Amino acid sequence: MLTEELVVDARLPVGPAISPDGRRVAYGEMPGRTIWVVAVDGGAPPRELGQGIDPKWSPDSRYVYFRTEGQLHREPVEGGGRRSWSGEAAAYLPLADHHTVAVLSPDPGESDPWVWSEAAGRHRLRLLDVRSGEVYTPEVFQGRHVAEVAERPGGGMLAVLTQESPDPGDLRPRLHLFDPATGETRELGACAVPAGSLTWWEAVDGWHVAYVATTPPGPVGGNAVLDVALTDGKHRNLTEGLPFCPLTLTSGGLVLVADGLDAAIHRLDPVTRRLAELLRLTGQAFWLTADADGATVAVARSEAYEPRSVFAGPVQGPLVRRTDTAPELRAIGWGAQERLSYRGGTTGWTWTACSSCHLASPAMTARSPWSRSRTAARTDAGPTSCSCSITNPRSGWPATATPSSCPIPGAARVTGTPSRRTAPSAARSGRT
């Protein structure tokens, strides 16, 4: 029987990080602050590494870094020989030279506990030399809050995201480049708000920096992937008009998106600069992480009948569950569930679920019935493909809807007539 204690005390994985060589995944666990390491191929059970949060790998995959209050730690992946450095690290990133860690932390004594924005403290970019323990603070981005850093693959240049203040009401984020070797900086302009998930990726014209933010002009709306080519420094929306919601970016130009009730992994195409779907994931997904070349991934995922677990494997699948932090929940007899269905408001469209391909709401993948021509393709269960399509007979609003066609018996159909030429009350089912 499901009890309050089972719900509150269930242990769930958080913040998985795959090693650059793609062989292991480090992850945290809540409640609690335990760091675990598990093999991607399942060759060994998860092993406890220590107590802390926010695990990250060294570039050579030999060490796992993690934080505790007031300290940064580095532990060999096989255990033993831990090294620790004192000092606050609100965020950090081990760099490719193997002996430097970029650390974000406030100046000592600058916070005011009675003023929220001051108590948070503006973070400065610092460089920790793990050989000597010395910390160097470059004189860059003065007066701004350093929110995030990302190193170009192979080492060298850092992309740096700064804000006017840590106060969420006064972000005004900007993007910069910083070379730790020379101290040189370059401005890449203002970002959409609130910017995050900073990532380098390589297109045919060279290196780009991408990030996730609210779709411009904001400040309210779904997420978008914004891309900056170093050749011109312009910020371009790569997901304009697409029906899903980008969540996070990671190495190899990979993008985790929420798509209706499910998720998917996409890759940024180096030629078209558009997103190309690689793998659909049933249910919710969090914290996509990839190895150095984006070939092997790990992600935390939950389904209607399954609690959150870490799944890992090739980026095009299959991903295999590698954690089982709440086995007690498997003894619960869950009630029958049905996927959310959708009925249009002002448009008069009515959807009927496809009983074979489990396309509960064509609106989620058919990209809205009021567009000119869209195709839904879903592989949740049953057949390996479904070509349900919803096509308007002419541009603009049709006088009468055409039925969808699907070779699978019992497939979805669309019926109804738009009542007026106005935008529908709900564009699609799913998250924004």
The domain locations on the chain are 4-331, 338-432
| 143-200 pLDDT, tens digit each | 999 999 999 999 989 999 999 988 887 889 999 999 999 999 999 999 999 999 999 9
At the top level of CATH, which class does the domain 4-331 belong to?
Answer: mainly beta
Helices within 76-173 (DSSP H only): 116-120
| 214-233 pLDDT, tens digit each | 999 877 888 999 999 999 99
| 72-131 pLDDT, tens digit each | 999 999 878 899 999 889 999 999 999 999 999 998 765 555 454 444 578 999 999 999
| 48-60 pLDDT, tens digit each | 999 999 999 999 9
Q: Bigger pLDDT: 339 or 94?
A: 94
pLDDT at 92: 97
Q: CA 361 to CA 368: how far, in whole Å? A: 11
Size (the chain), residues: 432
- Report the DSSP beta bridge partners of residue 99: none
| 301-337 pLDDT, tens digit each | 998 888 899 999 999 999 999 999 888 887 788 777 7
Q: How many CB atoms lie within 10 A of CB 379?
A: 14
Question: Does the pTM of the predicted model rise above 0.85?
Answer: no
